[in-house]
Structure 1
């Protein structure tokens, strides 16, 4: 059975330009990866937990931020490994340099017998859509494209 994850795609309008918050996975496997490695803050949906509730919980755990805006449902996507990701967009902003993430523990280096803690995300950043499409996991590009179709354009001053 494939895993189910849920997450939030935070967006803002900065100087008339749409920007989205993406997170870079922490830990040794992603240390040298950039293009195609970034993701929306997301995580596994626990048994007896709804996907939307999981998305809110995971966003807070991985960023330290509790989003306050209305959630806009996006179409679930299926990633290369079979994981299904349910996502919602939320308008908001934060200072990515001040985000705090929970941690996970793995044996590192492999077969060393040593357990090390790593942050689930090691950094986050707001990107314009063109850059975000290059940075994000390719399976999640459709979330960015759907976001554009679901939000109202910024009124011109």
Structure 2
């Protein structure tokens, strides 16, 4: 019985794989996702071999990125489930819509039209996929406040 318990613990410990920070961007294309969906300051991540759920930890915080005029905020911890050409059950990513920050809940690749579709609840927004070819660098909040000021004054 003791051997069976040890075997079960060993199997369970293999269901979550940890990778180094440099591998996560190389993993995304294997799921038909662009490398630039995530910022460069990844400290670590885990990926479950059971259900493809993941947890990503950023090394610095706050993290703001601008994609094609769309302001995006990455929390220190990002979670979700990887699928081929999509990410579901997303938490830890927000997009600015007008003056509000809204949570991104899913991401889909629209290969036919060369777009990436971001879901915010039942709503969605498409951005050109080529915006996500390069891995973005995080900006600090001070820069984000400047974007907000410019958006408000236009």
Structure-1-length-normalised TM-score: 0.27
Instruction: Pick the structure with more helix per residue.
Output: 2
- Answer 1 or 2: higher relative contact order, Cα 8 Å, separation at least 6: 1
Structure-2-length-normalised TM-score: 0.27
Larger radius of gyration: 2
